[in-house]
Structure formats: C-alpha cells, structure tokens
Chain A
Amino acid sequence: MEAKSSGPISNALQRESKVVDQAVAAPSEGYLAEEPISKDKLEEKIAVATPRQLMWWRFRKHKVALASVVVLVIFYLLAAFAEFVAPYDPEVFAASAKFVPPQIPSFIDGNGQFTLRPVVFGLSQERDPETLRVIYQPDESVWYPIYFFVRGQPYEFWGLWETDIHLFGLGENAEEGTLFILGSDRLGRDMFSRILYGARISLSIGLVSVFLSLILGIVLGGISGYYGGQIDNAIQRVIEFIRSIPSIPLWMALSAALPPTWPQELRYFGITVILSLIAWTGLARVVRGRFLSLREEDFVLGARLSGTSEMGIILRHMVPSFLSHIIASLTLSIPAIILSETALSFLGLGLRQPVISWGVLLQEAQNIRTVALAPWLLLPGMAVVIAVLAFNFLGDGLRDAADPFAR
C-alpha cells in the first residue's frame, strides 16, 4: 500500500517544487535540498514521512508565509513588551510639540560628521502665515544622541515591578529634546508609543471570540453535515436567518445592552464574544460541506465496514483530514476580527478614548483636513494593513500545506 501510494505523491511533489522554483526563481532550496540526494532517496524519504512532515516541507516552501510568521512574532513581542520598547508613556503629552512630523534618526550629526550612535535633530518652530499653525522643521544646529537601555519615564512592567528602563530614548539629560520617530498627534503624544500600546488591544481582543466561533462552527457544521436530513435543514435555516441580520444595528444594540458599569475593554470583549455567536456561520458552512463530501469517501466506508464507532469515524478519520483546513481558516478569521475592531472603533461604536487601540488612533484621522496636514496620523492604519496581510499570507501558506497529498 505504502510503496504504491508513494510513487504519484513524490512525483507530484517533485513536479511542484520544480515548477515553483522555475517560476519564482526562489533560492534553490527545493523540497529536501539540505543535502543533495538521489531521486530514489527522495522518494524513500517522502514515502516514510509523516503527514506532519509533509505539511512542514510544503509550508516551508511558501516563503512569504514564513516571512509572515516572523512579522507576526515581532508584532506580538512588541505588543507584549510595549512598555519597554515604547520611548514614552502613551498618555504623556507635550503641549509644545503638537503634530510634529516623524523625526528620522540620522547617523550624521549637525556638523556633517558620521557618528556610530544615531542622533535626532532638534525642532525649530515656524508659524504658517495663513493658518497660524505651528510648523516644525528639523533644526540641524541642535542634535541629541539616542541611547539604548536608557532611563526614562517610570512604568510598571506587566504590573509586576516598577522600572524606568526603555529600549531606546534620549536619556534624562535631553529634557527639551523629543524623539517622535513616527511623529506626534494633536496633543503632542508619541505616535510610535501609542501604536505599540494599541497593538496590545487590537491584536488580542478578538482572539477568544475567534476560538469560540471555531468550536461552534466545527460542532454545528459537523452535526449538520454528518447527519444531514432534518437536522441539517434546521441548522441551515438558522444560519440563513442569522446572516440576514445587518451587523451594525446588532453591534449597537449589543454594545448598549451590556452593563455600562463594566470597564470599556471588558464590554468590548463581551461584545466580541457575543458576536462569535454570529460569526460561526461561515465556518459551519465550510465544515458541513467537507463532512458532506467526506461522508462518501472510500476510507470512511472502509472504517465503517471494519466496525469503527460513529465517534471514532468522526474523530479519528474525518476530522484529521480537514483539521489543517480549519487551522487555515482560523488564521484567516483573525484578520477579520482585527479589521472589525478598527472599523467599529473608527465609527465610534467600538472602543473609545482613553483606551488605546488602532481603531481609536485612526479616529483621530477622520477629518480629511487634519490628515492633509499630518498624514502620519494614518500610520496606525499601516500597522493594521501589515498585521492583516501577515495573517492572510500565513493562512494562505497553511492552506497550501493543509493537504500535503494534493497536486
């Protein structure tokens, strides 16, 4: 059995790796190219590989997905260590430095000399003669060196102990210097620090709801597809009904109905959990479709004929064959929940000040005239786009790897 099935699989795998290598001119790392091995060896290796290994080999080939994993790990690390990485407290404002454009660190100081330690220039103020707005320009006659692991504003690290060490900053000697590498907002708060703190909420608040809707989707979709008939019909009608309710009024009603005494984050969390009661419908339809087609497969019939119990068929034979598909759709639904947080906060229906999330930060960019004068206010949007893209690519890579026996 094994020898028979290995032939087409390994051929297909080789064919695929060749096609990909030619097309993208990817680094010549093919399937198993750690060491040059003969074709027979390759086939042998593939024949004895576990499905998990096959998936990993296939996933490894998707370079963008691999890069996305790195990006996401960095994002989550930055969010986890936001207090340490952020040079400023996100709420501290500098009244004299509103709407400062991004200050880009430079390796050349004001004297035109190269320094190994990056410096940031001071700011000179000017007033726009027409609008009377203060405009900041880099002032090359003053510069401040950037220090690493520097003392700055005190904070409580994860609420455990108090410290004032930041990853980078200007240090205590540069009281009048500012380090706004992504600019400052209308109150003179550091955008970079705010984006880091925002990542903490935006990247985490929807995760529980994603898992909840995952479980609901698998269970209800599975029941619907496995048993079919009346049960299937009933569940499908429920799905149709849920999908025909427009989401905005639902969201508003829910957010108004939760107790107002809860803190904002908890309320929002509550809403996302309730929303997962709606979001399972998409996955349920997919799972149902898979069950419907798997039910007719030969291996299920084989398992049934050899006396496996119903539960055994579902858990040991059917679920593994689309488990990876589920993991893929899970990674694809996380960006959706990040986007909905951003969109709803932007509308004022989700989170609100003083909570910091990417959507709340983007609310500041609602006025087009403000954006025209301070385009860096759109940067939280960039963070959203990068995070969402990374999740999408990761999901894409997982989906390709999901079925290692496919073409």
Chain B
Amino acid sequence: MLQFILRRVLMAIPTMLVISIVSFALIQLPPGDFLTSYAATLAQQGDTIPPEQLEALREAYGLGQPLYVQYFKWMRGIFRGDFGRSLEWGMPVQDLIWERLALTVVLSGATFLFVWTLAIPLGIFSATHQYSIPDYIFTFFGFLGLGIPNFMLALVLMWVGFAYFGQEVGGLFSPDYKNAPWTMARVWDMIKHLWIPMIVLGTAGTAGLIRTMRANTLDEINQPYVETARAKGLTERQVIWKYPVRVALNPFVSTAGWALPELVSGSTIVAVVLSLPTVGPLLLRALLSQDMYLAGAIILLISILTIIGTLISDILLAWLDPRIRYE
C-alpha cells in the first residue's frame, strides 16, 4: 500500500508539470496581453495611456519576453513560494488567493458532505423500495434537481428571499464580518451563511447521485451473494449495508477526486450570482483581464488539489473494495 501511494505521488509530479504548461499556454492563447486589455479598459473609460509608458510597463513586467522565458521565470518563483504579482490588483498573488482558496475548499467540502449524506441513503431506499411512492417522489425530485440550472436555482432563491422576506441573500459573511479577522464569531457567521450556496451547489449533484446510487444498488441487490447473506440469517439492514451498498459505492469513490474542479468550474456561475468570495469569480476576472500570474496560480492550485483528491479516492477505493489491488 505504502509503495502504491509513493508511486502515485511520484507519478503526480510530471502530471502537474504538464498541467502548469498547459494552463500557462491556455492563458496566453487569447491575442494581446494584460496591458492591451488594460489599455482597452482605460479607453472605454475615456482615458488613454501613452504608448511609451505602455512599453515601459511591458518591459517592467517582462511581458515582451518569449513565452518560455516567462514560463520559466514563473516556475522558478513558484519553487521559492512566490506565485508572482497580480498585475491587476498590484499585489502578490499569494496574498489574494489563500483565503479564497480555503473558503472554496470549505464550501466544496460542505457541499460534498451534504450531497453524500443525503443522496446515498435516499438512493438505497429508492432501490430497496423500488416502484414505491417514496421511490417515485425521490425520482421526481431527482430529475427536477438535474433539470434546473444551478444559477437559476440561486436566482429563484434570491428572488424569493428578496421579494418575500425582504432579505439580501448572498455572500458568505454578514457585512460586519466581511473584512474582520478570523475569530470564532466569524466562523459561526460563515456557517450560518454557508447553507444556501451549499443547497444551490448540491442539488444537481444530489439528484444525479440518487439516480446512480439507485441503479447501482438495484444491479447488486439480486445477486446470489446477497441471497446467501440473507440465508445466513443476517438482518435485512446488515444484508443491505454490508454487501450490495459497498459494491454500489465503488464508482462514487473512484470519481470523488473530480468533485473539486467540477465544483470550482460549476460554482463560478453560482458564486457570481450569489457573490461568494471563492476563487471562481477571481479566476473569471483574472482571465478576462488577462492577469496571467493570478489566473495561472489558481488553475495550478486547483489542478494540484484535484490530483490529491484522485489519490485519496484511489486509497479509499482500495480500502472499500478489498478485491482491488494495485499490484
């Protein structure tokens, strides 16, 4: 097992390098650079910037250099813990992203827990009570959850909150705590705000998971080994939870590592609508203004988290299903 983990960690290093190259290339793909889009923004506001000054800035930021030089400079900085400077915000990237990244992970984790604790029991119940009234109800809500776009749900919730409760729903903190230092009170404030984005982000996932869990359990529930367990005199609860459910969980565990990038990409829209302080909106803005060091750092960190997540889910998979052996 230890050997397996070690090998996976070693394999992750080249993957990360490739991802860093691809993400850097992706950011550079649109024509122009940060300064052209900066000049365009200024021009929109009726302001101009003299070309000489633009050239000087380009020189200072090293934007005129060939791509690979810029890439190596960036990578050299990262190995020293320096992610570069955000051109738009005028401050070091690491000062901008750590808190947002942490909040993203907290939000993703909460959503993930919400989805799993709700969907797995419901899916199993749907399977063991196939074609019963609750099964139809869960199926219906499951499909409804799949059909409603996340941001629609967010909009409707906000509209209901605004029109009927006279309350602005959005953000992760009350105004008092927005820029406050981390205290217990602030954590509590965040927990109180966390549930709306959690529900909005988790609905589609829950719906899909109920469906898959139901189908997977149904596939297993009529297998001979389940009959054997029943014949041995185990209680129905033991029969279900010890045998078919463990097998049915397998595909979830193996894709759990993908949950994070999916949440980051999918939640960007929700985060914009609900004005959440997560990395999604920051990344979107950085990409729009071609603030490449900021965007690159965010993409790189998310990819690293994904790889770690996949690793964890592989380990979990081996623990869950003893038949799986990685040599």
Q: How far is the CA of A378 from the CA of B146 in the complex (A)?
A: 18
Contact A248 B159 (CB under 8 A): no
| Contact indicator B287/A389 (Cβ below 8 Å) | no
Question: A8 near B: Cβ within 8 Å?
Answer: no
Number of A-B contacts (CB under 8 A): 126
Whether the Cβ atoms of A240 and B310 lie closer than 8 Å is: yes
Residue of B nearest to A340 (CB): B149
Interface positions of A (Cβ within 8 A of B)? 19-20, 23-24, 240-241, 243-250, 252-254, 256-257, 335, 339, 342-343, 346-347, 362, 365-366, 368-369, 371-372, 375, 378, 381, 384-386, 388-389, 392-393, 396, 407
Instruction: Assess the A252–B287 pair: CB atoms within 8 A.
Output: yes
Cβ B152 vs Cβ A384 within 8 A: yes
Q: List 20 A-B contacts (CB under 8 A).
A: A240-B15, A241-B18, A243-B261, A244-B19, A244-B310, A245-B261, A246-B283, A246-B302, A249-B295, A250-B26, A252-B284, A335-B147, A343-B150, A347-B269, A366-B273, A368-B155, A372-B163, A381-B149, A389-B144, A407-B222
Query: How many angstroms from the CA of A49 to the CA of B104 in the assembled complex?
Result: 55
Asked if B143 and A256 make an inter-chain contact with CB atoms under 8 angstroms apart, the answer reads no
A248 lies within 8 A of B30 (CB): no
B307 interfacial by beta-carbon distance below 8 Å: yes
List which B134-157 residues lie within 8 A (CB) of chain A: 136, 143-144, 146-152, 155-156
User: Residues 282-306 of chain B: 1 if any A CB is under 8 Å from the residue's CB, otherwise 0?
Assistant: 0110011000000100010011001
Please tell me if B31 contacts chain A, counting CB pairs below 8 Å: yes
Closest to B270 in A: A343
Known pairs A343-B151, A368-B158, A392-B146; A241 contacts B15 (CB<8 A): yes
Is residue B213 contacting chain A, with contact meaning CB distance below 8 A? no
The 4 lowest CB-CB distance pairs between A and B, nearest first, are A256-B30, A23-B131, A389-B147, A388-B147
B22 in the interface (beta carbon within 8 A): yes
Bound together, the chains give a CA A24 to CA B137 distance in angstroms of 12
- Beyond contacts A246-B261, A366-B273: 13 other A-B pairs, Cβ-Cβ < 8 A, are A244-B310, A245-B26, A246-B265, A248-B283, A249-B23, A249-B283, A249-B299, A335-B147, A342-B149, A371-B158, A381-B155, A385-B147, A396-B143
- Could you say which of A256, A372, A386 contacts B159, with CB atoms under 8 Å apart? A372
Closest residue on chain A to residue B148 by CB atoms: A385
Is B268 in the interface zone, CB < 8 Å from A? Answer: yes
Distance A253 CA – B295 CA, assembled complex (angstroms): 12
State whether B268 touches A252 (Cβ < 8 A).
no
Per-position contact with A for B88-119: 1 when CB-CB < 8 Å, else 0? 00000000000000000000000000000000
Q: Hey, which chain B residues are within 8 Å of A240, CB to CB?
A: 15, 310
B264 at the interface (CB under 8 A from A): yes
> What residues of chain B lie closer than 8 Å to A20, measured between beta carbons?
131
CB-based contact B288/A252 at 8 Å: yes
Contacts of A339 in B (CB 8 A): 149
Q: Are A23 and B147 in contact (CB under 8 A)?
A: no
Chain B residues closer than 8 Å to A347, beta-carbon distance: 268-269, 272, 284
Across-interface contacts of B22 in A (CB, < 8 A): 245
Q: Is there a chain A Cβ closer than 8 Å to B29's Cβ?
A: yes
In the bound complex, CA of A396 to CA of B139 (Å): 11
Report how far A366 CA is from B275 CA in the complex, Å.
Answer: 12
The docked-state distance in angstroms from the alpha carbon of A257 to that of B144 is 36
Give A115 Cβ to nearest chain B Cβ, in Å. 35
Which B56-99 residues sit within 8 Å CB-CB of chain A? none
Asked, given contacts A241-B15, A249-B283, A347-B284, whether A378 binds B26 with beta carbons under 8 Å apart, the answer is no
